[in-house]
Chain A
Amino acid sequence: MRSYQDHLELGPVLNQMLVLLEQERRMRGRLSQLRAQAFGQVALVAMLPWALLVILGVFEPNMVAIFFADYRGWAVILASLLFEMVGAIILWRVSVFV
């Protein structure tokens, strides 16, 4: 824009900008792909305990009822949630590149 306003030659600038934008796009693409892969895996593993709980609830409802019967069951559920949240935060921080 400034080169245009100052009546300077734009061809080389545009050529160089094209290469730069392409480089930037490629780098960001690779990084976001990497992070998406990591988060896909983690989402799958994070859902595993809860899926197990649901399956257990279908086949053995009495075993799952224990969780909601007293404070110890609730404590286990809360501790599991807390663990997963801390893990997700750490994972987010570890996977950041820039």
Chain B
Amino acid sequence: MFLFKARSRSLREQRRYRHEMILFFHSLSLYLVAGYDFNSSWELVSESLLRGMSRPLRDCLKISQGGVLSDVFRSVQVSFPIQGIRPWLGVLGQFYENGTELVSAIRQLTELLEAEQAMDMENHQRCLPTRLNLILIVFFLPPALMLLMTPLVLGVWETLLD
């Protein structure tokens, strides 16, 4: 039970992190499309979005006092909560350091995350009826049986006692 709870919590966390990262990258690419440079875009998105994001993501994506964006990219490569996109963030960091155009790379990364999220959602949708049935059998069927059988059981009990 504990393992099941821990697993489902971690699954939900992964989904939430992924959802927040999709929003983050979308906002970032909006700023880039509008004509801001990458540094200012990152700072503006951080200003508006990071406060509402989960703590592990906030800690990873925030540019520390006196720090630079390269430090953020270096640290996310090893400690980012979504393990699957660490290498991609590393690639993004390299692009940034080389001064390569980043909008299309960010779009690709966002599409990757969106595809993963969609796949996860389909999986969730597929599994939900089974889980629902299990919960119905375990938690909602016994009360019905209890309420139906109690008068009979109590009647038999009283007869036996007499």
Interface residues of A (CB under 8 A from B): 2-3, 6, 8-10, 12-13, 16-17, 20, 23, 27, 30-31, 34, 38, 41-42, 45-46, 48-50, 52-53, 56, 60, 63-64, 66-67, 72-73, 76-77, 79-81, 83-84, 86-88, 90-91, 93-98
- B-side interface residues, number (CB < 8 Å): 36
A91 to B136, CA, bound (A): 9
Tell me what chain A mostly uses at the interface: helix, strand, loop, or mixed. helix
User: Which residue of chain B has the shortest Cβ distance to A77 in the bound complex?
Assistant: B147
Instruction: Give the residues in chain B near A16, CB-CB below 8 Å.
Output: 26, 29-30, 33
Query: In the bound complex, what is the Cα–Cα distance between A19 and B80 (angstroms)?
Result: 28
Question: Chain B: residues with CB nearer than 8 A to chain A?
Answer: 8, 12, 15-16, 19, 26, 29-31, 33-36, 44, 114, 121, 124-125, 128, 131-132, 135-136, 138-140, 142-144, 146-148, 150-151, 154-155
Query: Between A and B, how many residue pairs show CB distances below 8 Å?
Result: 117
Residue on A nearest B121 in the bound complex, by CB: A97
Interface SS of chain B: helix, strand, loop or mixed? helix
CA distance A72 to B146 in the complex (A): 12
Tell whether, in the assembled complex, residue A17 and residue B30 are in contact, meaning their CB atoms are under 8 Å apart.
Answer: yes
A36 to B158, CA, bound (A): 45
Query: Which of B12, B19, B35, B140 contacts A48 (CB under 8 A)?
Result: B140
Q: Which of B12, B124, B128, B147 contacts A49 (CB 8 A)?
A: B147
> Which residues does chain B contribute within 8 Å of A53, judged by CB atoms?
147
Contact pick for A76, options B19, B33, B138, B147, CB 8 Å = B147
Return the 7 tightest CB-CB contacts between A and B, nearest first.
A87-B139, A80-B143, A63-B151, A49-B144, A3-B34, A8-B35, A49-B147
A93 and B8 contacting across the interface, CB-CB below 8 Å: yes
